[in-house]
Amino acid sequence: QITLKESGPTLVKPTQTLTLTCTFSGFSFSTGGVGVGWIRQPPGKALEWLALVYWDDDKRYSPSLKRRLTITKDTSKNQVVLTMTNMDPVDTATYYCAHLGSMPFDYWGHGTLVTVSS
Amino acid sequence: QSVLTQPPSVSAAPGQKVTISCSGSSSNIGNNFVSWHQQLPGTAPKVLIYENDKRPSGIPDRFSGSKSGTSATLGIAGLQTGDEADYYCGTWDSSLSVWVFGGGTKLTVL
């Protein structure tokens, strides 16, 4: 059974760096083709794909946010970490991590709401 | 502004069928598989359709997907009030080398 869970701060100040951790179980980065992505959703708005890391450490980023994002994986801990620099109130959103395998984003975490406010 | 265009909202009566369109380009839908996700209020999205027309285990056959050229369509037959949700199409964009979601469509079952 695949599960994912996001963790991190619920409140960050403008200009600060956000660090979110996705801890998962039920799959491994040792399996070819596996990936974990981050997707966010501002309140009342659409899903926005942010970043993705594959089993072979191939990494992809949203072009509009690429300069602010870093995604890393820790295979031994079954974790994926997303950092986003220079946070702004417009970055207030629920942040999800999701598994990518034989289907795109077939398992999701519950999401974590991050509010950016001074 | 998403590279995939969906209607903001659709509505239909219980028992009816509704279709939701997703329009893209040759760099995304035209040359890649399309998936559809359903997001019920207050929950994480769930995959309904992948590889254009395949349903994961447990997804009823009331949900169907199709693709033609640079557009894709999600069909939902025998509408139920429990189908009220936001629906998102998604695909890989080969020119950007990124995943893209549509802007989402809110389904109302009248």
Taking an 8 Å cut-off on Cβ atoms, the answer to whether A49 and B101 are in contact is yes
Instruction: Give the pLDDT band (50/70/90) at residue B1.
Output: confident
At B53 the pLDDT is: 97
- Computed over every residue of chain A, the mean pLDDT equals 96
Instruction: Give the pLDDT band (50/70/90) at residue A93.
Output: very high
Find chain A residues with C-beta within 8 A of B47's C-beta.
Answer: 103-106
Q: How far apart are CA A65 and CA A51, in angstroms?
A: 9
**Token pair for B25:** 């380009």
At B96 the pLDDT is: 87
Q: How far apart are CA A88 and CA A15, in angstroms?
A: 6
At B109 the pLDDT is: 96
At B85 the pLDDT is: 97
The answer to whether residues A113 and A50 touch, using CB atoms and an 8 Å cutoff, is: no
Instruction: Give the pLDDT band (50/70/90) at residue A31.
Output: confident
A105 interfaces chain B, CB cutoff of 8 Å: yes
The answer to whether residues B34 and B72 touch, using CB atoms and an 8 Å cutoff, is: yes
At B40 the pLDDT is: 97
**β-sheet with A18-25: strand ranges across:** A3-7, A18-25, A79-84, A69-74
CA A78 to chain centre: 14
Q: What is the mean pLDDT of residues A80-105?
A: 96
Q: What is the mean pLDDT of residues A36-46?
A: 97
Taking an 8 Å cut-off on Cβ atoms, the answer to whether A60 and B39 are in contact is no
Taking an 8 Å cut-off on Cβ atoms, the answer to whether A103 and B56 are in contact is yes
- Nearest C-alpha neighbor of A36 from the set B86, A87, A25, A45: A25
Instruction: Give the pLDDT band (50/70/90) at residue A115.
Output: very high
At A69 the pLDDT is: 98
At A32 the pLDDT is: 87
Q: What is the mean pLDDT of residues A1-24?
A: 97
Name the minimum distance, in Å, from the CA of B84 to any CA of chain A. Answer: 15
User: What one-character DSSP code corresponds to residue A45?
Assistant: S
Q: Is the per-residue pLDDT at A70 higher than 80?
A: yes
Q: What is the pLDDT of residues B42-88, one digit of tens each?
A: 999 999 999 999 999 999 999 999 999 999 999 999 999 999 999 99
Instruction: Give the pLDDT band (50/70/90) at residue A92.
Output: very high
CA distances from B48 to A25, A93, A98, B34, B92 (A): 22, 24, 15, 11, 17
Q: What is the mean pLDDT of residues B12-24?
A: 97
CA distances from A91 to A5, A43, B6, B35 (A): 20, 10, 23, 26
